[in-house]
Amino acid sequence: MFAARTTLRATSTRLFSTSSARHTKVTVLGAGGGIGQPLSLLLKQDPLVSSLSLYDIRGAPGVAADVSHVDTPSEVNGYAMEHLDAALEGTEVVVIPAGVPRKPGMTRDDLFNTNASIVRDLAAAVARVSPTAHILVISNPVNSTVPIVASTLEKAGVFDPARLFGVTTLDVVRASRFLASVTGTKPSECDVPVIGGHSGPTIVPLLSQVANSKAKGVQGESYDKLVYRIQFGGDEVVKAKDGAGSATLSMAYAGAKFANALLRGLNGEKGVVTPTFVKSPLFADKGIDFFSSLVELGVNGVEKIHPIGALSSQEEKLLEACLPELKKNIEKGKAFVA
Ligand code: NAD
Ligand code: LMR
């Protein structure tokens, strides 16, 4: 599970690439929501998805009927609230964007009380119906919901750490877009490893590791502003939406991008490496057993967890601020299931 760092990263590829013919059934839990709808549309366009199963407590059959008219080969089925088990039957990948989003003034942790039980109950259903499925958790607070899913699967005796992922791709997408703006380069030339977790100070962009030489020129106040924008990009959207929710479209893009990376790995493509929040040995000695870092995706899911590599002194400080907060979030998730 542990390997030396390579420079090949899935994040710099186009949204959908395909390398082989094995296709996959993917289920979206929360498909009727702000993320779920555009995510379902994007997954319908992924050539590696053969069958798309859309579930929500409201509206999924309508979304499925709509998306099913898109002229790509995959079949689409919608499932109403009482048909969760049917939605999960035979699925290999489950994407979970179910749950409430933030309003201005809220932290992601403020969503815990509502979303923890939603995610736990959905994870229990996956454990019962499709215990070998790969699970991609989008619902916030990701730093806690991923441990909740892990503990729920563990309780059911079916937890495999290689098959559980917190989707932190939106942080990577933002880091790339924002760094490109600051340096006047292309996002495809700004591949930023973002490590840690998914909330404010737990989001740690490693700008010193970006290959683009212009990134090294971002110093002083510009560096601080860029890091802040990457860490608090979510708040920017929550504020602009003014009570109507949080990022949905960019999140759907990021979710589809991560799902495609996983599907390529499952299909046997080599060198698919991207940051994701997984059960990780990197800081286990500090009592932090989930962490996002560059992960190689392969036929079984998590293939290798890469070390974080050399950090600048500024990044060391960011990591120092990340770890205690992340630990607290993870413990809260575990305690909820225990
Ligand atoms: P939304 O309210 O628009 O949609 C959520 C959907 O979940 C709704 O359709 C709702 O009916 C459904 N739902 C609720 N309980 C359910 C259950 N038990 N089973 C199935 N479906 C259920 O919210 P949204 O904007 O789509 O955001 C969803 C979640 O994603 C939020 O928690 C948000 O904070 C999170 N999010 C995460 C990231 C990330 O980077 N990981 C980015 C953006 C948003
Ligand atoms: C994001 O980063 O946009 C999401 O986590 C949603 C949020 O609450 O900010």
Q: Residue-wise pLDDT tens for the chain (338 aa)? A: 333 333 334 444 467 765 555 679 999 999 999 999 999 999 999 999 999 999 999 999 999 999 999 999 999 999 999 999 999 999 999 999 999 999 999 999 999 999 999 999 999 999 999 999 999 999 999 999 999 999 999 999 999 999 999 999 999 999 999 999 999 999 999 999 999 999 999 999 999 999 999 998 999 999 999 999 999 999 999 999 999 999 999 999 999 999 999 999 999 999 999 999 999 999 999 999 999 999 999 999 999 999 999 999 999 999 999 999 999 999 999 999 99
CA 103 to centroid of ligand 1, rounded, Å: 13
Q: What are phi and psi of 189, to 5 degrees?
A: -100, 5
Residues with a known catalytic role:
198
33 annotated as ligand-binding: yes
Other C-beta atoms closer than 10 Å to the C-beta of 207 total 25
Position 11 scores a pLDDT of 45
Secondary structure, 3-state, 148-182: HHHHHHHHCCCCCHHHEEECCHHHHHHHHHHHHHH
Q: Fill in the amino acid letter for 259.
A: A
pTM (2 d.p.): 0.95
Position 3 scores a pLDDT of 36
89: its two tokens: 């039957």
Q: Are 193 and 182 in contact (CB under 8 A)?
A: no
Ligand 1 site-directed mutation target among 28, 110, 236, 251, most atoms within 8 Å of CB? 251
Q: Is the peptide bond before 275 cis (omega within 30 degrees of 0)?
A: no
Which ligand 2 atom is nearest residue 142's CA? 5
Position 18 scores a pLDDT of 59
**Is the beta carbon of 84 within 6 A of some atom in ligand 2?**
no
Decide: helix, strand or coil at residue 71: coil
Which ligand 1 atom is nearest residue 36's CA? 26
234: its two tokens: 């979510």
CA 90 to centroid of ligand 1, rounded, Å: 23
Position 334 scores a pLDDT of 98
Decide: helix, strand or coil at residue 14: coil
Domains and their CATH numbers in the chain: 20-166 (3.40.50.720), 169-333 (3.90.110.10)
Q: Are 78 and 64 in contact (CB under 8 A)?
A: yes
What percent of the chain has pLDDT above 90? 92
